Chain A
Amino acid sequence: MSLSTTDDPPWEGLDGAERHAVCLTAARAGDRAALHVLVNELTPLVWHVVRGQGLNRPAAEDVVQTVWLALLRNLNRLTEPRALAAWLITTARREAVRVRSAEQTGASAAPAEVFDQMPSTDGQPEAEAVRDDRDRRLWSAFRRLPRRCQELLRLTVLAGRARYEAVAEAMGMPRGSIGPTRGRCLDSLRALLDAEGGSR
């Protein structure tokens, strides 16, 4: 560990959207370490956005890479560096939907509104993937939520409170409705958990 302060990168000590905005600015100037910080810290978010759309794991791995490659092309076109997370979420979601629709061509693809309300277990690990008993019950209940709830919960858990704006934009919801909608999703989750607990 270095004690030097002059060599610290400009994002040192910052966090959240501010840290990532500084990294993005540095990456534009050709700083690859800055780009790697963004990849390391924001790929989990991109991963869960894509998985929330029901893509299987190999397809999700491709989409995650596609999103980062697309960022390279748009590095100098993002007008607002602080909006990077929103851009990543929106791009990942759009690309995942595109891949999913391509996979469903020919099959009877449900309209988006119906799709959003269906419980979503496709492409997701079985409850047995989780060892701990409490976790297994929670995961099993989560999988029975409507897809839209699953997505909203994944996104808000991962993006953090600072990025409600980004989540709202990506999901096409007014920012003010994120909190209440999430509250209702959590109530449904609790009800599913209780129902399951009662049978034990």
Chain B
Amino acid sequence: MNSTSDDELLDQLAQVLERADPMPADLLDRVRFAIDLESYLDVEVARWEHGSALAGVRSSAEPGSVTFTVDDLTVMVSFLRTQRGYRIDGWLAPAGPHTVEVRIDGHGSSTTTADANGRFVLPDVPRGVTQILVHLADNGRSARTVVTPTLVL
């Protein structure tokens, strides 16, 4: 009769969970990078629109586009490969003079401002672990910052 005690079985289970379904090796780095923001106040987490992060950038070698949203803002971003990295074309709605910041792990960040139609362009962004932030301009009042989880570009 095979009678493993509860504690033994739980110990074995702890090991097998770790072996069968381990965290991705780079996940801790990506989390630490994602939360290493200048200010924690008024940070609002954006969510990828259904399937867009999976169908777009990450699952294929070729760049694509992603859409992310918070309650009152939708941001579409497309990535086009350049010689050194990526060109980012984006569009946000509703339009406003919001500051868009793209952070790349180890490469600082690039910043631009959306135009009257909500469009923005960053012509040359290095490849790497990438996070997009939108600093919402709200009639001069320093308002919220919308942040995404990281993408690996």
Contact = CB atoms under 8 A, between A and B. Distances in A.
Contacts of A156: 10
B43 A65 contact: no
Contact of B27 (A47, A129, A131, A134): A47
Nearest to A189: B9
A146 to B, nearest CB: 15
Contact of B58 (A58, A157, A193): A58
A171 interface: no
A75 interface: yes
Contacts, number: 114
Interface residues of A, number: 52
B105 interface: no
A130 B16 contact: yes
B140 interface: no
Interface of A: 32, 35-36, 39-40, 43-44, 47-48, 51, 57-59, 61-62, 64-66, 68-73, 75, 102-103, 105, 124-125, 127, 129-132, 134-135, 138-139, 142, 153-154, 156-158, 183, 186, 189-190, 193-194, 197
Contacts of B48: 62
Contacts of B23: 43-44, 47
A176 B103 CA distance: 47
B20 A125 contact: yes
B53 interface: yes
A197 B28 CA distance: 37
Please provide the 9 A-B residue pairs with the shortest distance between their CB atoms, ordered closest to farther.
A65-B149, A72-B40, A69-B45, A62-B149, A157-B14, A47-B23, A135-B16, A139-B20, A65-B34
Contacts of B36: 32
Interface string B1-29: 01010100110111111011101100110
A102 B13 CA distance: 30
Given A138-B16, A139-B16, A142-B13, A68 B31 contact: yes
A129 B51 contact: no
B137 to A, nearest CB: 20
Contact of A66 (B37, B45, B59): B45
Name which of B2, B15, B20, B58 has the most chain A CB atoms within 10 A of its CB. Answer: B20
A197 B3 CA distance: 13
